[in-house]
Chains A and B, each alone.
Chain A
Amino acid sequence: KNQVEQSPQSLIILEGKNCTLQCNYTVSPFSNLRWYKQDTGRGPVSLTIMTFSENTKSNGRYTATLDADTKQSSLHITASQLSDSASYICVVTRASGGSYIPTFGRGTSLIVHP
Chain B
Amino acid sequence: DAGVTQSPTHLIKTRGQHVTLRCSPISGHKSVSWYQQVLGQGPQFIFQYYEKEERGRGNFPDRFSARQFPNYSSELNVNALLLGDSALYLCASSQVEALMNYGYTFGSGTRLTVV
Tell me if B's interface is mostly helix, strand, loop or mixed.
Answer: loop
Give Cα distance in the complex from A51 to B102, angstroms. Answer: 10
B48 touches A43 (CB 8 A): no
B42 touches A46 (CB 8 A): no
A104 touches B92 (CB 8 A): no
Residues 76-97 (chain B) with a chain A CB within 8 angstroms: 88, 90, 92
Tell me if A's interface is mostly helix, strand, loop or mixed.
Answer: strand
B42 touches A99 (CB 8 A): no
With contact pairs A43-B107, A89-B42, A104-B43 given, residues A99 and B4 touching in the complex (Cβ less than 8 Å): no
Chain B contacts for A4, CB-based, 8 A: 42
With contact pairs A43-B92, A46-B103, A89-B42 given, residues A100 and B109 touching in the complex (Cβ less than 8 Å): no
B54 CB to nearest A CB, Å: 9
Q: Select from chain A the residue with minimum beta-carbon distance to B58.
A: A101
B42 touches A102 (CB 8 A): no
A 72-94 binary contact with B (CB < 8 Å = 1; else 0): 00000000000000000101010
Residues 1-36 (chain B) with a chain A CB within 8 angstroms: 4, 35
Contact of B56 among A89, A99, A106 (CB under 8 A): A99
A105 touches B108 (CB 8 A): no
Q: Is B115 an interface residue (CB 8 A)?
A: no
Chain B contacts for A31, CB-based, 8 A: 99-100
B106 touches A43 (CB 8 A): yes
Chain B contacts for A41, CB-based, 8 A: 88, 108-109, 111
Q: A41-B88, A42-B108, A99-B55 are in contact. List 13 more A-B contacts (CB 8 A).
A: A4-B42, A32-B100, A41-B109, A43-B106, A46-B104, A89-B43, A95-B100, A99-B48, A100-B48, A100-B56, A100-B98, A101-B45, A103-B45
22 pairs, A vs B, C-beta closer than 8 Å: A4-B42, A31-B100, A32-B100, A41-B88, A41-B111, A42-B108, A43-B90, A43-B107, A44-B43, A46-B103, A46-B104, A49-B103, A89-B42, A91-B42, A93-B99, A93-B100, A96-B56, A98-B55, A100-B56, A101-B58, A104-B42, A104-B43
